[in-house]
Amino acid sequence: MARPMNIACLQTRPRPDFESALEEALTLSEKAVGQGAELVALPEYCGGLKTEGAMFAPPAAPEEEHPVLKGLTEFAKAQKVWVIIGSVAVPGLGGKIRNRGFVVDSKGCIQGRYDKIHLFDIELSEAEIYRESALVSGGEKASVLDAPFARIGHTICYDLRFPGLYRNLAQAGAEILVVPAAFTKQTGQAHWHVLNRARAIENGAFVVAPCAIGLVEGGGESYGHSLVVNPWGEVLADGGELPGVVQTTIDLDQVAIARRKIPSLTHDRPYDLVHEPKPHSA
């Protein structure tokens, strides 16, 4: 018996302030719901993003005062639709922020929170260096949420490179793995599609990966190509290189089917790692 669900990824642009970020998010959300979306997913830092040199500098506000969070929860309630808020910046400890995502139900209530665990500290070239940890405190807890339609595992962007996190979520029953992102154009061109497909295949799960598109104020560029990938690793929808809505209907029964065919989530075995000595030359 099929379990169909209409899913929309919103491919928004990185916006430097709350007002423009919310305006674009609501415009695309309305379009998605008008096309039948039951779950709307937004990218990482959909509440605003800019950079200052190697540092991320998104606008931040407490949850109870955050205008983008407030606007999107009100939208979810008014439209009776579930919303994945990929992430917004909220104050953390020691003058840093948290890169925090939310799952909002169709009554506008926050049902899940997730603070990005793995922070984007990389050096792509002498001119392109990112130090997310300079401003952001990493999270410590993975997140699995039971929604009426499926169990959801929430991750964010750079987490995608850590397959153990996704395996833990899948072994906890996650059927949909969400990967909101602002992947850089350079790393996206090289790795975005293959990593998302790999996480789907390894875990027999749907991957829903909304990714921002376009230039970031202060430097940097997001890749776009928001994806929906089925448990067999097939790309069902790809947002391409323009802002907009990428939408498709999935059948959640495919998760159980894929896991029956390849039950690798139950095949883990303990093992010892042996470092063999370097052979002696004769």
Which residues are annotated as catalytic?
Answer: 44, 116, 157
**DSSP symbol at 216:** P
Quote the Cα angle for 129-133-137, to 5°. Answer: 160
Cα 267 to chain centroid distance, Å, stands at: 27
**Contact assessment for residue 28 and residue 271, using Cβ atoms and an 8 Å cutoff:** no
On the 0-12 / 13-18 / 19+ scale of CB atoms within 10 A, 272 is: exposed
Which string of DSSP letters, residue by residue, matches 3-44? Answer: -EEEEEEEEPPP-SSHHHHHHHHHHHHHHHHHTT-SEEE--T
Beta-bridge partners for 143: 154
Q: Which residue matches tokens 């929808």?
A: 237
On the 0-12 / 13-18 / 19+ scale of CB atoms within 10 A, 62 is: exposed
Q: Cα–Cα distance between 131 and 57 in angstroms, integer?
A: 11
For the beta carbon of residue 66, count every other beta carbon within 10 angstroms: 24
